[in-house]
């Protein structure tokens, strides 16, 4: 389950009119509850500075209204804002699945699976930007992989993020962490090199998605240990085959030369001439 439950906080029986199932964070600021029709909803507490007295700050209200109206299948739906006492809670769609780091760690998935998830994530965040919203909180805990493998974003930050570069940095930072884990200790990582170059060149999300797609379309690279002289020699079998062929060729040439020299002896020459008939055999090759 992507937004996995924790028992560090005793959840209330009910919050904002929703029966609470379990706590989703150890700080008591996120709960899984049961919404209409039995569907799961996530109740996430708004920071206090989002309120101006007893009401939402106008800028926060405007941002949340835009998030609520998003037409984006890769982002959890925001159903609304509810009050409980002096606190305000966001009511989000609950996404079935596991967080992206849990998903990739579950079966020891490697760099290509990281690149696949990364490409889908980059495209999802880019589509969000096209609709005028900066997510502002691209972290492993806010990226869920569904049971069918779809990558989805949860919990667009209610704070006033407006620089898309913050999301680009968040995506690359997350992928670097996942790629480093997949590569393991002491291994060179083609994916980490790709991400480092993308960061240095200031590549946008669409460009990053294209580079990750090219990485996935290329043959899987051999992962080599960090030492220059360490690791198996993958070209050794081919070299051995070429060496064996050269030895056979040299041996054949040696035998042919020996036969040619032997043909120069009178006794063998006579036997060969008897066998060939009237044709004259000249060891020097002249007829």
pLDDT for the residue numbered 279 = 46
Q: Write out the E strands in the chain.
A: 14-15, 18-23, 30-34, 40-45, 51-52, 55-56, 78-84, 87-93, 98-99, 143-145, 151-153
Find out whether 120 and 171 touch, Cβ atoms under 8 Å: no
What confidence score (pLDDT) does residue 118 get? 97
Q: What pLDDT is attached to residue 183? A: 84
Close Cβ partners of 237 (under 8 Å, ≥ 6 residues apart): none
Gap between the Cα atoms of 257 and 275, Å rounded: 20
The residue ranges of every structural domain in the chain are 14-93, 98-217, 236-276
Residue identified by tokens 């120069």 is 264
- pLDDT of 109 reads 81
Candidates 3.30.2130.30, 3.40.50.300, 3.90.1200.10, 3.30.200.20; correct CATH number of 14-93? 3.30.200.20
Q: Which two tokens stand for residue 31?
A: 């709960």
**Separation between Cα atoms, residue 79 and residue 90, nearest integer Å:** 8
The fold for domain 98-217 equals: Transferase(Phosphotransferase); domain 1 (1.10.510)
d(CA 87, CA 105): 36
Residues 6+ apart with CB under 8 A from 15: 31, 33, 43, 84, 89
Rounded CA-CA distance 82/31 in Å is 13
Of 63, 65, 55, 94, the C-alpha closest to 77 is: 94
Q: Tokens at residue 92, please? A: 């989000």
Mean pLDDT by runs of 10 across the 287 residues of the chain is 56 94 90 93 94 91 93 92 94 95 87 95 96 95 93 92 94 96 79 96 97 91 44 50 54 52 53 50 44
pLDDT for 112 equals: 93
According to DSSP, the residues that pair with 143 across neighbouring strands are 153
Q: Quick one: 231 exposed, middle or buried, by C-beta within 10 A (0-12, 13-18, 19+)?
A: middle
């Amino acid at each position: 389950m992507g937004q996995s439950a924790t028992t560090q906080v005793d959840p209330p029986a009910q919050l904002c009119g929703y029966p609470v199932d379990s706590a989703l964070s150890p700080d008591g600021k996120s709960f899984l509850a049961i919404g209409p029709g039995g569907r799961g909803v996530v109740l996430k507490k708004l920071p206090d500075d989002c309120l101006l007295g007893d009401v939402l700050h106008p800028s926060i209200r405007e941002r949340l209204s835009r998030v609520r109206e998003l037409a984006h299948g890769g982002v959890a739906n925001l159903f609304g804002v509810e009050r409980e006492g002096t606190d305000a809670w966001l009511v989000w769609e609950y996404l079935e699945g596991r967080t992206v780091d849990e998903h990739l760690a579950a079966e020891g998935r490697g760099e290509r699976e990281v690149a696949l998830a990364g490409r889908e994530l980059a495209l999802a965040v880019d589509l969000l930007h096209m609709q005028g919203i900066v997510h502002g909180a691209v972290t492993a805990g806010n990226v869920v992989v569904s049971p069918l493998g779809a990558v989805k974003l949860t919990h667009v930050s209610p704070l006033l993020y407006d620089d898309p570069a913050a999301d680009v940095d968040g995506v690359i930072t997350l992928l670097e962490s996942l790629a480093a884990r997949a590569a393991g200790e002491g291994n060179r990582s083609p994916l980490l090199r790709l991400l480092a170059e993308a960061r240095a060149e200031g590549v946008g999300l669409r460009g990053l998605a294209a580079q990750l797609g090219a990485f996935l379309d290329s043959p899987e690279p051999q992962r080599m240990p960090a030492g220059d002289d360490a690791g198996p020699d993958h070209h050794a079998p081919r070299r051995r085959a070429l060496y064996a062929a050269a030895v056979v060729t040299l041996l054949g040439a040696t035998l042919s030369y020996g036969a040619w020299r032997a043909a120069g002896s009178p006794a063998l020459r006579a036997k060969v001439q008897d066998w060939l008939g009237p044709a004259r055999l000249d060891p020097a090759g002249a007829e």
